[in-house]
Amino acid sequence: MICTQCGRPASRYTVTAEGRVREVVLCPSCYAVLLAGAREERGPVRRCPACGMAIEDYRRTGLVGCAECYRYFRRELLPAVRDLQGSVTHTGKTPGADAGENYELLLERARLRTHMEQCLLKGDDAEAERLREQIKALNAAIRGERV
């Protein structure tokens, strides 16, 4: 394709302006000029309060600047995430075959560690020590040792 403005190699872009959707064939330079003009018409550029990234930066690179960007640009990012991953809900990974029957024990150990850390932060040393002993017993069970 050839840019309709300058004749250099170009790409096809879908542009929405004044409620109308149209396709344009522009080179990267002419497209940047078109975007700059659109930004001036829209007013100030919204930037992530944590890292300063603008949504135009995401559109150009396909990368967000930080975790806060996902919250701040949620409305703009959700359609892209849905298209790329098929869903906007994170399901995570399940443990591999090596976790096997220890999976439940590993989950319980993680839960106990979290609870123990909360107890330590609150200053409940006795409860934290009780949880520490339970974690030791779980570690032994995970290794296959008798307690």
Q: What secondary structure does DSSP assign to 9-37, as a single string?
A: B-EEEEEEETTEEEEEEE-HHHHHHHHHH
Average predicted confidence (pLDDT) for the chain: 81
Long-range contacts of 4-12 (CB under 8 A, 24+ apart): 5/30, 6/30
State pTM to two decimals.
0.36
**The token pair that represents 23 in the structure block:** 């396709």
For the chain, which residues make up each domain, given as ranges? 1-43, 46-92, 100-143
Q: What is the pLDDT of residues 7-57, one digit of tens each?
A: 889 888 888 776 678 888 988 888 887 777 665 555 677 899 999 999 888
Q: Is the model's pLDDT at 101 over the cut of 70?
A: no
What spatial distance separates the first Cα and last Cα of the chain, rounded to whole Å?
72
